[in-house]
Amino acid sequence: MIIAVTIAVLVAGGVYMILQRGMVRIVFGMGLVSHATNLLILATGIGAWRSEPFAERTPLSDAADPLPQAFVLTAIVITMATTAFMLTLAALGRSDDTRTVEDPEEESPLETRGRTASVSESAVAKEEQR
């Protein structure tokens, strides 16, 4: 029962964090949901009647299933890589819609206008001031 409540709290906290606007909050929310999923996988494979999977100590019918543990180990590695990637996106991202620091009239260096675009008057004025 304690594991079920823990999984529910982690999922609820993760969903709440994912619904926030900031990228870092989304990353933390994904981490919480990932931890809840790992606990859920472990809870399905671990029973109180199971013991260690050593053939000389325990009959094979009573041994714990190592497959959920392998799944969780793989999920931890994938979560680490995904979290690193998302944190990189959060650090390099231009804006996450939580604040505006740039001047809206200033041209973005990330915009592409193509070959047929003409130079705007504000860009010419800025170049003349430099």
- Per-residue pLDDT band at 33 (split at 50, 70, 90): very high
What's the total number of domains in the chain?
1
Phi then psi dihedrals of residue 65, to 5 deg? -80, 120
**pLDDT the model gives residue 18:** 93
- Per-residue pLDDT band at 122 (split at 50, 70, 90): low
Kindly state the tokens that stand for 104.
């809206």
Residue 80 sits in which domain range? Answer: 1-128
The residue written with tokens 């606990």 in the block is 39
Most confident of 30-39, 58-67, 113-122: 30-39
Most confident of 63-67, 84-88, 96-100: 84-88
